[in-house]
Amino acid sequence: MSVRIAFAAALKVLRKKRGLTQEALSGNITQSHVSQIENGKTSPSLEAIIELARVMELSPVALMAVVCAAQDELTAGEVLERAKKDLQLISLLKVAIPLEAKAKMHPGVAAAAKARAEVQALKKAGYSQADIARELGMAESTVRRHWHRSV
């Protein structure tokens, strides 16, 4: 069974179990979009999945467990047990994932930021552009570029 058809079936079952109409389920999604999803004519975006789960007062994981169960002809419990084992195998079951990974700055960008900070510090100390160029061993055009930019 395709994911789209499994999602359509799961959404219908969950909506009816919650006693909701398509209109009530729509929330931030139009009723016509809910209808298209339930009829297997379109697949929901991740944002739509989260919104549908919110309106049904379910976790998105519970919604997706029912979808995966329909697709694989399993129970939602079996799907969740499999997911739990998968997460244990990769040591992520009890690990919080940070929302923002600390991005490493490109070396060229880091060097430019450092140079800009050095130029601005010497500028504040009263150095001229020519003095800064000599002090830092930079071309005067580079000093000029950093001189007019804030840190």
Query: Tens of pLDDT along 100-140?
Result: 756 677 888 888 889 999 999 999 999 999 999 999 999 99
One-letter identity of residue 78: E
Domain identity same for 83 and 111: no
Q: How confident is the model at residue 148 (pLDDT cuts 50, 70, 90)?
A: confident
Asked if residue 97 belongs to a domain, the reply is no
Which whole number is the average pLDDT over 89-95? Answer: 92
d(CA 40, CA 63): 16
- The CA-atom distances, in angstroms, between 62 and each of 10, 77, 79, 115 are 11, 10, 10, 51
151 pLDDT higher than 60:
no
Asked if residue 31 belongs to a domain, the reply is yes
Q: Hey, is 80 helix, strand or coil? A: helix
The token duo for 67 is: 């979808």
Domain identity same for 28 and 68: yes
Asked if residue 96 belongs to a domain, the reply is no
d(CA 55, CA 40): 20
Q: pLDDT tens, 2-57?
A: 999 999 999 999 999 999 999 998 878 899 999 999 999 999 999 999 999 999 99
Number of folded domains that form the chain:
2
DSSP letter at 97 equals P
Q: How confident is the model at residue 73 (pLDDT cuts 50, 70, 90)?
A: very high
DSSP assignment of 16-29, as one string? HHTT--HHHHHTTS
Looking at 61, 89, 117, which one is the last position of a domain?
Answer: 89
Asked if residue 120 belongs to a domain, the reply is yes
The torsion region of residue 128 among left (phi > 0), alpha (psi -120 to 50) and beta comes to: beta
The torsion region of residue 31 among left (phi > 0), alpha (psi -120 to 50) and beta comes to: alpha
